[in-house]
């Protein structure tokens, strides 16, 4: 990690490129089932971090943001807005 690159660290956390973790939550494909969501840190085209969350069951539409807020922190619920067949839903807690 290069300490001079902003966005890859703050006062509490470091965000190394290539870091990947997974957590189980309700599936956006089948809300009555659980599945894995992968959170990862990548380097964007401008050299800034890209935080990506991908559902194991639907890897075609990852959620990406320049902020780490899209990825869950350890021991915190994971609220994500999604829509299934046009109906917005929110995963408001860990399963």
Kindly list the structural domains of the chain, giving each domain's residue range(s) and its CATH number in brackets, ordered by start.
20-91 (3.30.160.360)
Please, which residues have CB within 8 angstroms of residue 10's CB and are 6 or more apart in sequence? none
92 Ramachandran zone, left/alpha/beta (phi>0; psi -120 to 50): alpha
| pTM attached to this predicted model | 0.68
d(CA 10, CA 82): 28
**pLDDT tens track for 30-78:** 878 888 989 899 999 988 999 998 989 988 888 888 887 766 555 555 4
User: What is residue 95's predicted lDDT score, i.e. its pLDDT?
Assistant: 37
Strands (E), the chain: 20-26, 34-43, 49-55, 58-65, 80-84, 87-91
How far are the Cα atoms of 6, 22, 74, 81 from residue 28, in angstroms, in the given order?
33, 15, 21, 10
Instruction: Please tell me what DSSP assigns to residue 48.
Output: -
């Amino acid at each position: 990690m290069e300490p001079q690159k902003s966005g890859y660290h703050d006062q509490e956390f470091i965000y190394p490129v290539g870091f990947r973790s997974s957590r189980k939550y309700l599936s956006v494909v089948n809300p009555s089932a659980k599945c894995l969501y992968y959170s990862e840190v990548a380097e964007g085209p401008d050299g800034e971090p890209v935080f990506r969350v991908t559902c194991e069951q639907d890897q075609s539409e990852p959620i990406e943001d320049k902020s780490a807020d899209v990825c869950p922190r350890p021991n915190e619920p994971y609220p994500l807005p999604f829509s299934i067949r046009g109906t917005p839903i929110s995963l408001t807690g860990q399963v």
